[in-house]
Structure 1
């Protein structure tokens, strides 16, 4: 950013220089000084900078306050890369002509070039005091303010700059970036559009524009930008790679796939483009075709753990567990894993016998992941291990209900332990496959006193309803900070067609920011909001024991019900995480779970219709059975 600014600043000096030389009044000079000035100006015009500087020096020997010589010599020193010398000479010129805003601005530019931002700002503000302010002056002041972290002031100066010169590319780009930083997504998209219209040749501008349009929900405008970039950079594999990344950030997976295929067509051995093609296909639910590209990426980039990890997840998704677990676990060698995962100072378990050995099983990632993989505490105990688990605080009471766990921890203990291992690394060493799943289920258990409390509470809520009403729990949103939550969460409005199914009483166990949304539907549907009363997972688990079924998006509550062996219908998005495999309506991890799969990413309409039809059939069957 600052490199471009400095380059523009120097070109600004050149522009000012020509204006001053052509209009300078030499009449106050004596004849010999006029001769020196003529020679100096001629040398300057021919870019013979050393000779020009010498001639201007001769003038200053005779007339130390000669403004023309000071100004032009300062500019010549700038072009000759004598920046510190130029600063001193132009500072003298500013003293001679303190009202010259152009000289003050140039002094400010030189101060900025040498990172003296305080002095630069002072010069710019003095220049504004003596003139109405040019577009470049407001822009240059804005650059200094932005560099010092005074974003709001910088934004105002950039806006003044653009008001004077509407096509000032640098200022418009800066406003676009500031708007992005401030979360002003509509303004960011608008400014990037203006910048692209002024100069559609800059690749990075186009990429930033795509991301801004995606964030602003203006995807319809992305097509033309992508078309221009693809045409202009058709032979540039790095540009196509960067374009794929921008489209990924904008959730434009179909376009991302098309660009990746374009690049692969001419650069077959580009592993990154195969990686992007695989990702785009998997996000759209086509894991089997994605694997072909992912395998190509691994073949081309065998030492890249991200490529191995991607292929491992895809192999797991189609049931190829033997290679999948090993490849997936290359993730732990990445800087991200080393930075974000707990790594106790005990011996890492790599599949050794555990009989009689103390073992610390370490949780990771989300709450659902912890619940799913805590099962391996039971597996290790069956092999003679003495197992403690390290989990996040919300999972503690649930983990304590497990029969295979000696102690539940929330901080790394002093030990000693014979072994430790992340929960999600265990399957590789236990050689887990479809035939060995699910293991003992249930493996978590509700607290009897809480089951009794919530059964009484739900009976009170349900008093007056028909005795054969089916009780169904509902969760419509996952945690908003999950990287793919926008794809997995349906939203309450999306679930609404289910609430009119006859013979069903609904109980919301939704937690988080949206837990009270269902209260607005209580006048129209038989729905009860329990979320605000739920304190932790033990409450949710106890509630589920008083319900006949849970219908939920792919979030931690789905794992909670599955691990407890309770009936649960899980709505999974088209991109489908590896754990739900491919094209199956059941889960080998949870015998009590039924899966409802999205056909097209982002479209839940057909899924909800499938769930409603299944719910009607289930409700009729259970009522007739009773």
Structure 2
């Protein structure tokens, strides 16, 4: 969308961001809408058609994290539209069940035919003209797994497409040695965690683990959005120049009220945010003795 849109979103000037989106839509060639020659994540879908009292097809063409982030707008959409069909990866369906929304599995080889009004899920904020605060977390729900008290969930790797979001697991070894931790990564680890075999490759099961954690410490990946959408206290490790949805000048998040941001001071160096997390866990940031995680307000 460009730097102007990114800054407007970070500053929570959503009206300005939506105006930029309108100008971009007006300049597009309608023949390129949902262009099958492009990868799904590069397609545009919504042509500006109002969603009120229409049969709306919501397509999930981006990553799992994007889908979870914007799922907050499904219930408001269902309240306005005549009908809503959500075309989403089947592995997300158990988490995305919403009254008034029909779920359909997204098959990249055979997507659903166009509806009366097609919208990509990340376009819902502009289509509804709703800010994150208009649909606050928690908006997803999962029964918590029976974990020991004060368990901290750890996720240190993101998708292969952005290795700059990965934290070397050895950097988390001191934290895992001092606190009761759980891996939220789908691979085995040598870290001292409750589940060295890793997290199951099953999103409902992962959601239950996240819901059972007293705190989630994660890099910018799907786990961050899952924890945020569930309303769990989340400490988010960010690279020096983070994604558009995180304001590098702030410690809090407009998208998730219980999320706290820990950004790299210099590109590639995780030592500063990890030291800040260690200090916050021990209560050194406010000069008080260390307390159990569950005994303090987090987020």
- State the TM-score bracket (shorter-chain normalisation): 0.7 to 0.9
Match in the other structure for 2:70: 373
Are 1:516 and 2:188 matched, yes or no? Answer: yes
TM-score, with length taken from structure 1: 0.41
Given the alignment, which residue of 505, 512, 516 partners 2:180?
505
**Does the 8 Å contact 1:516/1:531 carry over to 2?**
yes
CA distance in 2, matches of 1:624, 1:340: 47
Shift in Å at residue 318 of structure 1?
Answer: 3.0
Shift in Å at residue 366 of structure 1?
Answer: 1.3
Match in the other structure for 1:392: 89
Shift in Å at residue 399 of structure 1?
Answer: 1.8
Are 1:321 and 2:19 matched, yes or no? Answer: no
Say which structure is richer in strand: 2
Match in the other structure for 1:564: 230
Distance 1:624 1:541, change over 3 A: closer
Shift in Å at residue 353 of structure 1?
Answer: 4.9
Match in the other structure for 1:495: 172
Are 1:428 and 2:126 matched, yes or no? Answer: yes
Given the alignment, which residue of 410, 417, 434 partners 2:106?
410
Does the residue aligned with 2:84 lie in a helix, a strand or coil?
A: strand
**Does the 8 Å contact 2:283/2:291 carry over to 1?**
yes
CA distance in 1, matches of 2:42, 2:150: 46
CA distance in 2, matches of 1:343, 1:420: 16
Kindly report which structure 2 residues correspond to 1:234-313, keeping only aligned pairs within 5 A, or say none: 309-313=2-6
Does the residue aligned with 1:313 lie in a helix, a strand or coil?
A: helix
Distance 1:359 1:327, change over 3 A: same
- Greater mean alpha carbon deviation, residues 373-382 or residues 318-327: 318-327
TM-score, with length taken from structure 2: 0.81
Name the Cα RMSD after superposition. 3.1
CA distance in 2, matches of 1:432, 1:409: 26
Match in the other structure for 1:602: 268
Given the alignment, which residue of 132, 153, 163 partners 1:473?
153
Distance 1:317 1:359, change over 3 A: same
Does the residue aligned with 2:68 lie in a helix, a strand or coil?
A: helix
- Ranges in structure 2 where 5+ consecutive residues have no aligned partner: 285-289
Structure with bigger gyration radius: 1
Distance 1:353 1:533, change over 3 A: closer
**Does the 8 Å contact 2:236/2:262 carry over to 1?**
yes
Kindly report which structure 2 residues correspond to 1:203-242, keeping only aligned pairs within 5 A, or say none: none
CA distance in 1, matches of 2:48, 2:151: 45
**Does the 8 Å contact 2:236/2:259 carry over to 1?**
yes
> Structure 1, residues 336-374: CA drift from partner, whole Å, max 9, x if none?
973123899xx945252513x221111122111111112
**Does the 8 Å contact 2:49/2:117 carry over to 1?**
no
Distance 1:603 1:509, change over 3 A: same
- Ranges in structure 1 where 5+ consecutive residues have no aligned partner: 1-307, 463-468
Distance 1:549 1:342, change over 3 A: closer
Shift in Å at residue 326 of structure 1?
Answer: 4.4
CA distance in 1, matches of 2:113, 2:207: 32
CA distance in 1, matches of 2:124, 2:88: 15
Distance 1:529 1:418, change over 3 A: same
